[in-house]
Chains A and B, each alone.
Chain A
Amino acid sequence: MKTQEIRELVKVVEQSEIDELEVSRWGHRIRITKNKNHVANNQPQQITIPAQHTQQTSPTSTSEQNAQPAEPKQEEPAGPEALPERENFEEVKSPIVGTFYRAPSPESDPFVEVGDTVTPGQTLCIVEAMKIMNEIECETSGVIKDILMENSQPVEYNQTLFLIEPK
């Protein structure tokens, strides 16, 4: 994510009613929060950016750089900035590298939507690897709170795909 892009995102959050903005691409996630509670927080802000590359290799939009963000915080579930509710959610992670699909086929409806109640064994999505459509099954009972990947987005091992609020 380019520094310029991050600055613009920060501006968007600052100048709008948005409290929280999360953008993810290629497993690099950036979460910008504007919250009165955090202003009062005296904890030093941790910026840990896993799996980054540090050099500007070429001016193409696919190259990634190490950002020097002033305000944005990298989301880590264990960090001081982690939202309290998030810690209670189950993360459904991809066990394989592949391409994420929300529906069994381009014409079908997605397997699940945010707000759906899900049960163990229920198929949540497909991750396609080497032409094989692998169904990713749910392991808990609960409600889908968030879908973190977009349709046909590449995913890596342990990439979080869904957040489920267990019931």
Chain B
Amino acid sequence: MFNKILIANRGEIALRIIRACHELGISTVAVYSEIDELSLHVRFADEAICIGPAASNMSYMNIPQIISAAEVTNADAIHPGYGFLAENSHFADVCEDHDIVFIGPSAEVMSQMGDKSVAKETMMKANVPVIPGSEGKVATADEARKIAGDIGLPVIIKAAAGGGGRGMRVVKEMEDLENYFAMARAESQSAFNSPDLYIEKFIEQPRHVEVQLLGDSYGEVVALGERECSIQRRHQKLIEESPSPAVDEALRAKMCDAAIRGAQEVGYESAGTIEFLLDADKNFYFMEMNTRIQVEHPVTEMVVGIDLIKEQVRIAAGEKVASWMKDFKLRGHSIECRINAEDPEHGFRPSPGDITSFHMPGGMGMRVDTHAYAGYTIPPTYDSMIGKIISHGRDRLEAIDRMQRALEETVIEGVKTTIPFQQQVLADERFISGNIDTKFLENFTFNPDGQ
């Protein structure tokens, strides 16, 4: 087991990792930028090293400084958390070169799954369903028509060189295909200077359902249930839950088996997540794999009864996944709200500053992961998430009730937070019915005067 772990991160996840190490009897080293001097992760670690100025690229993503900090403190392993260097295969390589264990998958696996087309090919080899589409570019409308016929309508024509909605057309009727193809081509040429298009099956109102995986260094991979993360604003998750209200036992078994196959195909080690899109007919398609621990990992921990960070550390130290993980029952339902220092009344603009009052909820079925405290100054230089509130209940309704109770109890003054917004979502009939998808927030109106 490791003697000392350096946490190459900040904020709530750094604190999370430090707590797990503390329970395992492992010494911790925190690294921090100048502006984070009074941060909680710095105070809770056994040792702390300042590694640079506020800018992330000069501190939390500054590989030489972090490696140097590990060397001068004699840390045997580095936990990268999420974001920053967590999915940087070069960083994983550098750790290996310096005999420091990187707590995560190997650099090769990371880069393999980081490349979207390589990842897709790999999943296909493992018989994991992927979004059907053209293999490469589609040159003519005739070709497009054939592919659309094979895949089945609706399809989406996309610009190979672009994104952000430009050079995209959804084809619902075959008679529109020729025109839309030409329009997409013209748009792509003018926006991205390339006429290249490809075609994919268009999944209407998909749900974002992801499977949590743990792999050890002996080839064993276990799936720890799924999470639903459809409540997203501009692709940023705001509310997550486990299990997904759309997934029954049979579907869960299929999705988990597929995810395990995919992970074993690349020889995945450590914690990772495979994201699927679930359509209205309960078909699921591989979207991408995240080769790191995720922000929303606590909801899985609550319903499975596991400490994922500890398991990451154990696996990195050479232990096997525990046999109970191959066969367990999910217990109850858990919901997480990401608390961001943002103003929902003004387009969610960031609200950094001094937290003057800070009171977190408690009581039955309540968990809070935060690095904030009364008197803390939220720096403007990093993401706006200041904490996560996680509820657990016997079923989804109880988890929702508990979360509503918790959000009412919570007091954060001095900065604006997303809490009023989340309270309204949780009170929404559609949300309560579980009938949600990734378009939910697009159709949701926040009422600034509402409660």
Contacts and interface: CB of A to CB of B under 8 A. Distances in A.
Interface of A: 26-27, 50-55, 57, 62-64, 96-99, 129-130, 154-159
Most chain B CB atoms below 10 A, which of A50, A51, A98? A51
B68 A98 contact: yes
Contacts of B52: 157
Most chain B CB atoms below 10 A, which of A54, A57, A97? A97
Interface of B: 22, 27, 32, 34, 37-38, 42-53, 59, 64-65, 67-69, 71-73, 98
Contacts of A52: 43
A53 B45 contact: yes
B27 to A, nearest CB: 8
B50 A159 contact: yes
A14 B42 CA distance: 33
Most chain B CB atoms below 10 A, which of A26, A55, A99, A130? A130
Contact of A53 (B37, B48, B59): B48
Given A27-B50, A97-B51, 7 more contacts: A96-B68, A97-B68, A97-B72, A130-B68, A130-B98, A155-B72, A156-B69
A104 B34 CA distance: 29
Contacts of A156: 49-51, 69
12 contacts: A26-B47, A53-B42, A53-B43, A53-B44, A54-B43, A57-B27, A62-B47, A96-B64, A97-B49, A129-B65, A130-B64, A157-B59
Contact of A157 (B27, B46, B50, B73): B50
A90 to B, nearest CB: 19
Chain A contact residues: helix, strand, loop or mixed: loop
Contacts of B73: 154
A96 B48 CA distance: 14
A130 B43 contact: no
Given A51-B42, A98-B72, A130-B64, A158 B34 contact: yes
Given A51-B37, A156-B50, A157-B52, A97 B69 contact: yes
A155 to B, nearest CB: 8
Most chain B CB atoms below 10 A, which of A55, A155, A157? A157
A27 B42 CA distance: 13
A50 B37 CA distance: 6
B71 A130 contact: yes
A27 to B, nearest CB: 7
Contacts of B42: 51, 53
A159 B69 CA distance: 13
A64 B71 CA distance: 19
A155 B72 CA distance: 8
